[in-house]
A = this chain, B = another copy of it.
Amino acid sequence: MNSDSRHTMDRREFIHGAAAGAAALAFTRSGFAAEGPDKQAVLAQVPKLHNECVERLQEWIKLPSIAAENRGYPEGPNYMANLAREAGFQHAEVVPTSGKSGVFATLNANAKKTLAVYFMYDVKQFNPAEWSSPPLAAAIVEKPGLGRAVVGRGAVNSKGPESAFLGALRAFRAAKSPLPVNLVLICEGEEEIASPHFPQIVQRADIQAALKKCDGIVIPSAAQALDGTVEVTLGSKGVVELELVSSGEHWGRGPKHDIHSSLEAAVDSPTWRLVKALNTLVGPDGHTPAVEGFGAKALPLTPAQKQMIAVAIKRRSEAETMQQLSIGHWVHDAGWLESQELLESKPTINIEGLVAGYTGPGGKTILPYRAVAKIDMRIVPNMTAAGTLALLKQHLIKQGFPDIEVNMSGGYNPTTTSPDSDLVKAQLAVYRASGIEPILWPRSPGSWPGYIFTEPPLSLAAGQFGLGHGNGAHAPNEYYLIDSTNPKIQGMDGAVRSHIEFLFAMA
């Protein structure tokens, strides 16, 4: 832990720690559970805890953990474990893996039911030059039409929603009310690099045992769109992230170090080879995956899922969506319905990045010895990450590119959760009680490592939940709404309240 973050921790503990520690002790040793949870008393605490909740979020944003840059470790997991302890988890430990550590915590409320909660403490890389407010300053900024928002990396993905969930737990403690459910917290620090070591956390015997007792797993989220609507997603696509590397060394042709570009007249180019290999991965439209067998096992949308999409898109604006995405056309000039069916159903092969030779300003007359394509493939049920990776490797060999290295950096299978699960029913009930009719959505086109929960042996229902609003995940000027001036959208307090209601609904 560097001196800056230690200072931050010390300051926070000085302000909040002494009293909170005493309260936690009282909670765990006395018999509040016997008195039973008191929802109104808990909800009444929310406005009182507002400032503390916001300040904790700001402090957390100031400590970024970025696995791709090896930044903020081991401060990140230590800080996370402390956040859990201070929110009332009696047990909270850092869980080492071959990569970055995770966190495992349990809160025993002597309740009948147990709910699992998924957190990530890591955040996406950022380029401060692209931000209008420094990405680690966690500044409170007035957003016209919305209210006051905190701007910073991780604000909405996912420290803001997670802070709202922790705020709910602190409200129980402040009200001296036990929780209506027990909690099992599973947290990782490599979500943004596709969770390469997450199974090591979840599959630890005692953690598996704790999870087996759970009735579902919730991921705190800022679910409200600008118009206040929320989406309940019934799963997510899986992903495989990898690098395709063409090199003189591995190919045995072309140079093993950069040479002068004039020599290309008589020497093979690993960069051209990468272009030729990439060209075989998608069809002539520059879009449709052309890897043999890719998506052959993909489950098509069911009539029920198609119906969900048809209902959902009537509640969204195509024009606004296209504007947000800065696009003028969907692929193949698809219409609104078709575009969203594609988004939900199609497995993809995307190029995240290309790197070869000279990448700076101007030119440099070299024949590069190495070229890299950074790829992500999104997969749907019943595809698997391992199976899709194998198809890609077979394809490259069959197409005559056995020398192209396929270096998988992470990935996981898709997830599916039934709309009839207790978890989804509780979500729907809370939203509807808040006057919101949620949009049911077959699956998120993005990915999270939930397969480890939704597949056997755990087979848990899993879903994102939380009122509140934010935007800019993976982009500049990421924000999370704190004090809403928009009657359709909840700020931090509304988000906290929604988690309190959800815990009662799960019970």
User: Chain A: residues with CB nearer than 8 A to chain B?
Assistant: 67-69, 124-125, 192-194, 237, 239, 241, 243, 248, 252-269, 271-276, 278-279, 282, 284, 286-287, 325-331, 334, 339-340, 342-369, 371, 374, 376, 378, 409-410, 444-447, 473-475
In the assembled complex, the Cα of A365 lies from the Cα of B374 at a distance in Å of 9
A276 cross-chain contacts in B, Cβ below 8 A: 279, 282, 284, 286
A252 cross-chain contacts in B, Cβ below 8 A: 328-329
**Closest-CB distance, A245 to chain B (whole angstroms):** 13
Interface centre among A330, A331, A354 (most CB of B within 10 A): A354
Interface centre among A329, A361, A364 (most CB of B within 10 A): A364
Interface centre among A69, A267, A361 (most CB of B within 10 A): A267
In the assembled complex, the Cα of A365 lies from the Cα of B243 at a distance in Å of 12
Q: List 6 A-B contacts (CB under 8 A).
A: A253-B328, A253-B329, A257-B475, A268-B329, A268-B331, A353-B357
A69 cross-chain contacts in B, Cβ below 8 A: 360-362
A356 cross-chain contacts in B, Cβ below 8 A: 351, 353-354
Contact A358 B353 (CB under 8 A): yes
In the assembled complex, the Cα of A243 lies from the Cα of B360 at a distance in Å of 12
Contact B325 A262 (CB under 8 A): no
A326 cross-chain contacts in B, Cβ below 8 A: 248, 255-257, 259, 369
Q: A265-B343, A353-B364, A353-B368 are in contact. List 17 more A-B contacts (CB 8 A).
A: A68-B361, A68-B364, A253-B327, A255-B327, A258-B475, A260-B446, A261-B348, A263-B325, A264-B287, A264-B349, A265-B342, A267-B330, A351-B356, A352-B365, A354-B355, A354-B357, A365-B376
In the assembled complex, the Cα of A366 lies from the Cα of B126 at a distance in Å of 12
In the assembled complex, the Cα of A252 lies from the Cα of B327 at a distance in Å of 8
**Closest-CB distance, A412 to chain B (whole angstroms):** 13
In the assembled complex, the Cα of A353 lies from the Cα of B252 at a distance in Å of 20
In the assembled complex, the Cα of A368 lies from the Cα of B274 at a distance in Å of 18
A376 cross-chain contacts in B, Cβ below 8 A: 261, 363, 365
Q: Which of B124, B364, B378, B474 contacts A264 (CB 8 A)?
A: B378
Contact B125 A364 (CB under 8 A): yes
A258 cross-chain contacts in B, Cβ below 8 A: 474-475
**Closest-CB distance, A432 to chain B (whole angstroms):** 28
In the assembled complex, the Cα of A288 lies from the Cα of B443 at a distance in Å of 46
Contact A365 B474 (CB under 8 A): yes
Copies in the complex: 2
A363 cross-chain contacts in B, Cβ below 8 A: 68, 193-194, 241, 243, 352-353, 374, 376, 409-410
Contact A352 B364 (CB under 8 A): yes
Contact B248 A268 (CB under 8 A): no
In the assembled complex, the Cα of A325 lies from the Cα of B256 at a distance in Å of 8
**Closest-CB distance, A316 to chain B (whole angstroms):** 13
Contact B325 A267 (CB under 8 A): yes
A364 cross-chain contacts in B, Cβ below 8 A: 68, 124-125, 192, 352-353, 374, 474
With A354-B371, A369-B326 as contacts: A275 and B278 at CB distance below 8 Å = yes
A446 cross-chain contacts in B, Cβ below 8 A: 260, 262, 365
With A275-B279, A473-B260 as contacts: A68 and B360 at CB distance below 8 Å = yes
In the assembled complex, the Cα of A124 lies from the Cα of B474 at a distance in Å of 36
A279 cross-chain contacts in B, Cβ below 8 A: 275-276, 279
In the assembled complex, the Cα of A241 lies from the Cα of B362 at a distance in Å of 9
Contact B358 A262 (CB under 8 A): no
A260 cross-chain contacts in B, Cβ below 8 A: 446, 473-474
Contact A357 B366 (CB under 8 A): no
In the assembled complex, the Cα of A349 lies from the Cα of B350 at a distance in Å of 26
Interface centre among A257, A261, A475 (most CB of B within 10 A): A261
Contact B248 A272 (CB under 8 A): no
Contact A352 B357 (CB under 8 A): yes
Contact A265 B445 (CB under 8 A): yes
Interface centre among A252, A274, A352, A410 (most CB of B within 10 A): A352
Contact B262 A286 (CB under 8 A): no
For A330, the closest partner residue in chain B by CB is B266
A362 cross-chain contacts in B, Cβ below 8 A: 67-69, 193, 409
Closest 6 CB pairs of A and B: A68-B362, A353-B357, A256-B326, A354-B356, A262-B445, A353-B358
Contact A358 B352 (CB under 8 A): yes
In the assembled complex, the Cα of A345 lies from the Cα of B265 at a distance in Å of 8
Contact B255 A325 (CB under 8 A): yes
A360 cross-chain contacts in B, Cβ below 8 A: 68-69, 125
Contact A265 B354 (CB under 8 A): no
Q: Which of B287, B353, B445 contacts A272 (CB 8 A)?
A: B287
A268 cross-chain contacts in B, Cβ below 8 A: 286-287, 327, 329, 331
